[in-house]
Amino acid sequence: MSSNIEVLVTGVGGITPLGADITQSWKGMVAGESGVTRLGEEWAAADLPVRVAGALPVDPLSLLERVEARKWDRCEQLAMIGSREAWRDAGRPQVEPERLAVVIGTGTGGILTTLGQDDVYERSGPRRLSPYAVPMLMPNGPAAWVSMELGARGGARTPVSACASGAEAIAMGLDLIRAGRADVVVAGGAEASLHPFCVAAFAQMKALSTDDGDPRAVSRPFDAARSGFVMAEGAGVVVLERAEFARARSARTYGKLAGAAVSSSAHHITASDAEGQVHAIRTALRDAGLGPQDVDNVHAHATSTESGDLAEARAIASALGGHVAVTATKSMTGHMLGASGAVAAVAALLTLRDGVLPATRNFEEPGPGIGLDVVHGESRAGAWSAGLVNSFGFGGHNVSLVVTREG
C-alpha cells in the first residue's frame, strides 16, 4: 500500500434532516437551521421519555421508484439516494467494473425491517413474512444494492463500527485505492433506526436528551447545558478517485482525502476515551504528511453528551492545540449514527470549497473543560485549507479523516 497515491473527491451526495440532498443540507448548515423536530402523534403510545428526533424532511419513497424501493429497507433507500446523487455529481465516471468498488457503512443496517417483520411473524405467522426480508435486514444490503446499481465488481464492503461506520467506510475506500485495487470507490454511510425500540434502548442508557422544550434547541454540542444526543437518520456518500484517473478525465474535484486512521480504544463498550481518539488524530495527520499546525478546522464528532464531548475536546486540544476552529453540525442535524461521519466528511469538503465553516447551533456557554474555539453565532468565513473529521462509536471505534485542498 502506498500513501504516495493521491486520492481526490469528485462527488458528494446525501440526505439529512436538513434536506433531501446535499445542496439543501449544506445550505441549512451554513444558515444554522435545525432539522430536529418533535416526534409525531404515532409515537405517543410508546410511552417514551424522549420527545424529539432528527427525522427526514421528505419521504424517501418520493425520491425513488416505488417498484424498486419496496425491496429495500429504509436504510438501503437512503444509501441509494445518497449514492445516486454522488455518482451524478462526479459525472458518472467511466471505469472498468473490476476497478470500481463500493463501501457503505451502517451501525444497525435494516433494523426497521427486523423489528417490523418480527411483528408480522408474531401477529400473522411465518407465511406472511416478506420474501425480501433477509436482503432488507442484512447490514451489507446498502453496499450490495449500490454495487449492483453501478455494476461495481471491485468489491462491496460494509464496515459496521457503530457511529464510526460511515467515516470508516471512507477510510477503507482510501485504502482500496492506495493498495491499487480500485480506481474509483463510492464510500459513505447510511442509517435509519428511528423506531420506538431503538429510541427506548438508547434512552435506557441515558444517552439521549429528554429535554421537552423547543426541539431546535435540544442538541447542544460542547455547551454547558448539553443533556444528551438527539437520534436522527440520513446518509452521506462521496466518490473517491485515484488522482491520475480523475485528472485524465478532467473531473471537477472538492479536494483531497489526504489521510485517515482507525484506532480502537479497548477501554469500555460505550464510554469515550480521549487517549484512543488522540491516537487516531495523530495517526491520520502522519498519514496525510501534516503537522498539528497545518490543520485549521475540525468537524467534531460532538454528539452533545456530557462525557463524550469532554473527551473529544481534550483529545483535540492534546493532538492539535488551541488554534483550530471547531464546528459540530450534529447541533443542527441530530446524530445520524452510522451515517454521521460520512455526512461530516461531506461538510468538511464543502467547507474547503466554499470557504465557510458552519457555526455550532445552541452553543452559548462552553461546558467545564471545553477549551476549544467552537464556532458559534454565525458561520465563519476563511481560506480553510485542511480539515479534520472525527467520528467515534460505541465499542471504542475511533476514526479520523483529513481533507485538504487539491495540490
> Of 1, 6, 3, which Cα lies nearest the Cα of 248?
6
Length of the chain: 407
The verdict on whether 163 is a catalytic residue reads yes
Phi, psi (deg, nearest 5) at residue 342: -70, -40
Phi, psi (deg, nearest 5) at residue 7: -125, 125
Give me the half-sphere count of Cα atoms (radius 13 Å) on the Cβ side of residue 124. Answer: 8
The verdict on whether 198 is a catalytic residue reads no
Grid cell for residue 227: 443533556
Catalytic residue among 195, 279, 299, 301: 301
Phi, psi (deg, nearest 5) at residue 403: -115, 140
> Of 235, 338, 232, which Cα lies nearest the Cα of 15?
235
Catalytic residue among 279, 335, 376, 397: 335
Give Cα 217 distance to the centre of its chain. 21
The verdict on whether 335 is a catalytic residue reads yes
> Of 195, 184, 191, which Cα lies nearest the Cα of 236?
191
Range 42-47 contact pairs with CB under 8 angstroms and sequence separation of 24 or more:
43/196, 46/196, 46/199, 46/200
Catalytic residue among 163, 195, 299, 376: 163
DSSP 139-192: TTHHHHHHHHHHT--S-EE----GGGHHHHHHHHHHHHHHTTS-SEEEEEEEE-
CA distance 383 to 253: 17
- The catalytic residue positions are 163, 301, 335
